[in-house]
Structure formats: C-alpha cells, structure tokens
Amino acid sequence: MKIPWLCAVILAQPATFALAQQLPCAAQNSGNEAAAQVLRLDDVVREALDKNPEAQSALHTIKALERHVPQAEALPDPTASVGWAGNLAPFSIMAGDPSSYRGITLSEQFPYPGKLKLQGAMAGKDVEAAQVSYEAIRRRITAEVKAAYYDYFYFDKAIEATNSNKELIEKISKIAEAQYRVGKAMQPDVLRSQVEISLLLEKRIVLEQQKATAQARINAYLQRSPEAALPAAEEVTPATIHSTIEELYALAAENDTVVLGDGKMIERGRLGVALAQRQSRPDFGVSYMVQQRADQAPMNGLTFSVNIPVFYKTKQRQAVAEATENVLSAEKTRESRLNELRFEMKQQYLAAKAGEQLLSLYSKGVVPQTSMALQSSMAAYETGKSDFVSLMANFTTLLSYETDYYRQLADYETAIARMESLAGTAITGPDDKSTPEKSTPAQGVDAPKKEM
C-alpha cells in the first residue's frame, strides 16, 4: 500500500516525537559519548549526602554527645584544701602552742548507688536521639534531591519533545505553504502553523528557564555554583510498588524518624523519673585530713558526711512529678505523630497510585490513540478530506500528552521517594510482569506497531 506523501515526510524523521527517543534505534544512534555524559540519580544523592553541611553538623553533634556519656558517669571531682592556725603568716606554726597547726584535707563525694549509671544512660539516650536526627536529615535530603532530580529529568524530556515537535510543525507549515501555492489550502492554514511554531518557541523558553532553576537546585545540594553545567539526566523507568498501604503504615510506624526520636525521648524521660526518685536518697562524702603541730607528732583524721534531703516534698518529690509529666508529654507527642504519619503516607500513596494509573493510561491508551488520530488527520488533510484545524488539534493534543507523561512520571517517582523517607526502606522492586509499554510511553507516529 502506498503511504501518503505527507505521512512519508513525517515518518522519515526518526526523532519526530520525544517519546520515540527511548526506542532501541535511538539509543544506538546516541553512541558512547551520550552514555558517558549522564547524570545518575545514585551519584547525585551520594554526593549530596557527603557534602551537605547540615548532615556534617549532625555528625559532629553525635560525637559531642558521645563525649558527654563518660562525663555523666564520672564521680564529682575531689577537692583539696589547706589551712593553718596560730600565726597569720602562711603555713607557719606557733612555737610552743600545741593547738597551732598546718594541714591539708582531701575530700570526695559519692552519689547514692545507681545515680551515676542513670545519668550515663540518659546521656546515652541523647546520643541515640541525635543519631535518629542525623538519619532524619539524610532521609529528607535524599527525598529532596530525588524530587529535584526528577524535575530536572522532566524538563529535559519536555524540552526534547518541544524541539522535536517544533521540527515537525515547521515541516507541516512548509507543506501547508506548498498546498496553499497550488490552491489546495487556505492562507489561515499557513498562519495557524506559524502561530503554533511561535507557541512552541514560547513554551521552550519557559521550560528552559524552569530547567535552569532545577539545575541550580541540584547544584545547591551538591555545593556547586548555580551555573555549573550538568549532563542530561539518566532515563527514569517507572518503579513498581509492592507494599500494600497497611504494610506501609506498619513500616512508617516502626521506622519514621520522628516516631523513633519521640521514642528515645520517652526512654530518656523514664530514666529521668528513676533518677529523680533516687535523688531523695542521700549522697555520701569522705574526707581525709593530716595536720602538723609544733613539737608534736602529725595528727590524722577521717570524716564521713551525708546530705539529708529534708526538703523532699518541695524538691525531690516535685522533680519526680516533673519528670513524669515530661514522659507523658513525649508519649502524647508520639501518638500525635503516628496519626499524622498515617495521613502523610496515605497522601503520598494515593498520589503514587494515581500517577501509576495515569502512566499506564498514557502509555497504553491516550498517546497511541492520539498518534493514530494524528496519522489519520494528516492523511485526510493531504487528500483534502480534513481541514488544517483538525490536524493542528491532534498535533497539539499529542504534544500535551507526551509532556504530561513525563510530568506524571516525575511526580510518581517523587511520591515514592517521600514514602520511602517515611518508611525508612525501599518499597519498590523489579516487576516480573512488566512490559516495554510500562517503562516507556507509546511512541509517536513513527513508532513500529506491536503484534497483538
């Protein structure tokens, strides 16, 4: 069957539509040079985490708190004192006076058994809470970097689609001019095609500005200049979520950093209650003294002391009540976070599922159908059975759905990244039932048809 000459012109262009650039032939044409110049998501995330000053600050905070643990478990510093009696001259003894002396005293305080251990355990919980905070920073940065990367990927693809379709509309415009010269088309057809070219130029300018913003955002995470050049993003293949919403709820409740942090504060608070209860127990002190006296042998002395918590009603008892209230407050904070966490997970889950359905709809239904409609309208326009307005409507519809596919893909992967931040683990994996249509949208008019 002879292909209409208008379709032949279009089909002769291998990059007519941006979606066709994912075909094997397009990958082969890209060559090794393109493969070497690819911005990989894993590399971006790794570099961002390594260079992020907030994460580095959190690491130093952890190390500082680790240094505090042995301090909290250590005994109070001993004290030494010197004194004399009899003469005002320092360290002198009055001759002939047996009450005159000079001496030194060493003292040490011993907290009631268990107090130092509890203080060390509380300091250890501070370390664990700081480690959770560090993990929270890493997860947040990872999710933010992934969102920036997927935006950058989308603008790359949207610009490619715009450029490819600009070439297509320029060819259609030339065809319309040729048709107009031989009296088979009207002048508004030519003017409409030129308007579409201008609109695509406008769209490309906006997309390039948005891509530059996304590039600057990635560079900020990488601690680079906003103007630093970045290669094209690596191709993104839609991931598959294998976890149910109930499983995601359970993962989030177990691994969410806010919940974990609140849990550490609860544990620390309970240790604080136990310590406050022990504060009503007395501490002990021991002092050793040695004195030199005139014309007499040195005199040694030993003193034992104990504090008496006589104000326990207004001091120690209130401290126990204070610590108990802090525990209750932390428990309620964790309950509030668990309720909020389910909403956040559900919100991202619904967004991801909607994106998954739209990706399937675009790749298997909307784009192929629109491609067929464009083919049909091009052939009809060539034979005079359709007008130019219908051809342009099908063209702009296909362009819109091409870019919408990549927008949905970026949003879908971003939602997954946010769910993984809440769950604390990967929630996707390879899909054994996946098909090529799942990883790429249906190709444009120049794509080969699949056998049914």
In this predicted model, what pLDDT tens digit does every residue of 330-374 receive, in sequence order?
Answer: 999 999 999 999 999 999 999 999 998 888 888 887 777 777 777
Assess whether pLDDT exceeds 50 at residue 1: no
pLDDT of residue 347: 94
pLDDT of residue 138: 95
pLDDT of residue 438: 38
Residue/partner pairs of 178-183 with CB below 8 Å, 24 or more apart: none
Assess whether pLDDT exceeds 90 at residue 434: no
For residues 63 and 134, the answer to whether their CB atoms sit within 8 Å is no
Assess whether pLDDT exceeds 90 at residue 255: yes
* pLDDT tens, position by position, 90-119: 888 887 777 888 999 999 999 999 999 999
Between 115-181 and 257-278, two packed helices, what is the crossing angle to 10 degrees? Answer: 170
Tokens of 378: 């091009």
* pLDDT tens, position by position, 139-193: 999 999 999 999 999 999 999 888 877 777 777 777 677 666 666 666 676 777 7
Residue 188 neighbours by CB distance under 10 Å: 14
What is the helix (H) or strand (E) element at residue 241, kind and residue range? strand 240-241
pLDDT of residue 8: 35
The residue that leads in pLDDT, 323 or 395, is 323
What does the alpha-carbon distance between residue 314 and residue 311 come to, in Å, rounded to a whole number? 6
Please, what are the domains in the chain?
Answer: 5-439 (1.20.1600.10)
The residue that leads in pLDDT, 104 or 1, is 104
pLDDT of residue 290: 94
pLDDT of residue 398: 73
What does the alpha-carbon distance between residue 91 and residue 118 come to, in Å, rounded to a whole number? 43
Q: Which of 429, 443, 439 is nearest to 359 (CA)?
A: 439
Buried b (16+ CB within 10 A) or exposed e, 355-385: bbebbeebbeebbbebbebbbbbbbbbbeee
Residue type, 223: Q
The residue that leads in pLDDT, 99 or 396, is 99
Give percent of the chain with pLDDT exceeding 70.
80
Give percent of the chain with pLDDT exceeding 90.
53
pLDDT of residue 383: 61
What is the helix (H) or strand (E) element at residue 296, kind and residue range? strand 296-306
What does the alpha-carbon distance between residue 416 and residue 398 come to, in Å, rounded to a whole number? 27
pLDDT of residue 5: 32
Residue 157 neighbours by CB distance under 10 Å: 26
pLDDT of residue 3: 31
Assess whether pLDDT exceeds 80 at residue 234: yes
Lowest mean pLDDT of 1-5, 30-34, 212-216, 420-424, name the range: 1-5
What is the distance of C-alpha 451 from the center of its chain?
A: 42
The band of 439, judged by pLDDT with boundaries at 50, 70 and 90, is very low
* pLDDT tens, position by position, 272-306: 999 999 998 999 999 999 998 877 888 999 999 99
Mean pLDDT, residues 69-76: 95
The arrangement of strands across the sheet holding 79-85 comes to: 79-85, 101-110, 284-293, 296-306
What does the alpha-carbon distance between residue 21 and residue 165 come to, in Å, rounded to a whole number? 13
For residues 145 and 48, the answer to whether their CB atoms sit within 8 Å is yes
pLDDT of residue 28: 38
Measured in residues, the chain has a length of 452
pLDDT of residue 451: 35
Q: Which residues contact 58 (CB under 8 A, 6 or more apart)?
A: 130, 133, 134, 137
3-state secondary structure of 29: helix
Mean of the per-residue pLDDT values of the chain: 81
Residue/partner pairs of 223-231 with CB below 8 Å, 24 or more apart: 223/51, 223/52, 223/53, 230/39, 230/152, 231/37, 231/38, 231/39
pLDDT of residue 90: 82
In the numeric block, the tokens 């560079």 are attached to 219
Phi-psi region of 424 (alpha: psi -120 to 50; beta: other; left: phi over 0): left
pLDDT of residue 389: 64
Q: Alpha helix (H) ranges present in 234-284? A: 245-255, 257-278
pLDDT of residue 440: 41
Q: What is the pTM of this model?
A: 0.76
pLDDT of residue 162: 84
